[in-house]
Amino acid sequence: MGKKKMMATGIVATKRKGSFGAYIRRYWQLYLLLLLPVVYFVVFKYVPMEYIQIAFKKYKLGITVWEMPLAKNDGFEWFIKAFKNPKFWLSVRNTVVLNLLDLTFGFPAPIIFAIILNELRFSRLKKVTQTIAYMPHFLSWVIIYSVSLALFADNDGMINQVLGTKIPFFSDPTHWIVSYIAIGVWQNFGWGSIIYLAAIAGINPELYEAAMVDGAGRLQRIWHVTLPGIRSTIVVLLIMNLGNILGSGFDRPFAFQNNLVLDVAEVLSTYVYKAGIKSLQLELTTAVGLFQSVICLFFLLGSNWLSRKLGERGIF
């Protein structure tokens, strides 16, 4: 693993020979800088892994997780309970469908936006547009939902009032999915474009000049210079997104769901909240969370493997 990583990330390692101590002495400032994130990951990501075993135990208050007795069915009671529950599979389906839709519409949006911004010549307009597009990212989903209700509610919403219609934006499952995805894209495309703008800024301007000399038009320059220039960034982000195909944020679906659309709106994170956390069934919560993580890991590794097969670098 370590060796592979070195090969993938740089050539320094293969050229220089020397002990670990020598590196520490030479680059101690960099290692010091690294220390803080490492401590963060150990304390907040690795130490808590001890509690994964709750998924296989009968939870008891007041004793350590090591002392808790094993759950029924050799510890698999909670997995069986979850897998037997129709609501669980419904949540899995909804999570995957909503995430795929988010990926289909939400993933290209920031790329397109970044390219459009990049083509703008008038830099003040560019900056203003950029800032306005970022803003929704800083609103909480609860606020976005209340604003959306004022705009889109079937009866009292502004849009329906003005048009004199009763489009069920939030109360009909199909309409709800469209609203949910569209608002999600709107909230995120500005923020998501930052990383692509940075990648575009890193493209050597000589390439554009050479293309112009060769008579390439604007669209051709985008197609043959800009897009290939940010291809590796796109692939890395795509892999990370695919790795999260079964994961989901909590606030967005929770804020947007209502009883009329629960059939399509209940996702794993909200199911876990209701069945596990609110009912103090921490075992069920942990079991579902573990299941989610394992599936996500497979997706992550799978897409990484695929991208390397296709000649891209992947993320590890």
Which tokens is 177 given? 């999915």
User: d(Cα 169, Cα 184) in Å, to the nearest integer?
Assistant: 14
Q: Which of 115, 227, 282, 301 binds another protein (CB under 8 A)?
A: 282
CA nearest to 152, candidates 172, 134, 136, 132: 172
CB neighbour list of residue 141: distance below 8 Å, 6 or more residues apart: 251, 252, 254, 255, 256
Residue number, 99 or 285, with CB nearest to another protein? 285
Options 18, 21, 86, 205; binder of another protein; rule CB under 8 A = 86
Measured from the Cβ of residue 63, the count of other Cβ atoms closer than 10 Å reads: 10
The answer to the question of residue 280 lying near another protein (CB under 8 A) is yes
DSSP string, 270-301: HHHIIIIITTT-HHHHHHHHHHHHHHHHHHHH
3-state secondary structure of 57: strand
- Tell me if 155 contacts another protein by CB under 8 A: yes
Give, in order, the Cα–Cα distances in Å from 177 to each of 161, 168, 170, 309.
22, 11, 8, 34
Site for another protein in 177-196 (CB under 8 A): none
| 113 interacts with another protein by CB under 8 A | no
The answer to whether residue 275 forms part of the interface with another protein (CB under 8 A) is yes
| Identity of the residue, 161 or 174, whose beta carbon is nearer to another protein in the bound complex | 161
200 lies in the binding site for another protein (CB under 8 A): no
44 near another protein, rule: CB under 8 A:
no
Q: How far apart are CA 197 and CA 117, in angstroms?
A: 8
**Which residues are 22's β-sheet partners?**
none
Judged by CB under 8 A, does residue 171 bind another protein? yes
Asked if residue 72 binds another protein (CB under 8 A), the reply is no
Binding to another protein, residues 246-265 (CB under 8 A): 258-260, 262-263
Output 157 or 314, the one with its CB closest to another protein.
Answer: 157
Q: Quick one: DSSP state of residue 1? A: -
Shortest distance (Å) from residue 94 CB to another protein = 14
Distance from the Cα of residue 231 to its chain's centroid: 19
| Least distance to another protein, CB of residue 265, Å | 10
Residues 115 to 154 in contact with another protein, rule: CB under 8 A: 149, 153-154
Task: List binders of another protein among 46-65 (CB under 8 A).
Answer: 59-63
231 near another protein (CB under 8 A)? no
Is 278 among the residues that bind another protein (CB under 8 A)? Answer: yes
Please state the φ and ψ torsions of residue 57, each to the nearest 5 degrees.
Answer: -125, 170
Exactly one of 96, 251, 281, 295 binds another protein (CB under 8 A); that residue is 281
Q: Contact with another protein (CB under 8 A): which of 26, 87, 127, 137?
A: 87
The rounded distance, in Å, linking the Cα atoms of 166 and 73 is: 52
| Interface residue list for another protein (CB under 8 A) | 59-63, 85-87, 149, 153-156, 161, 166, 170-171, 258-260, 262-263, 274-275, 277-282, 284
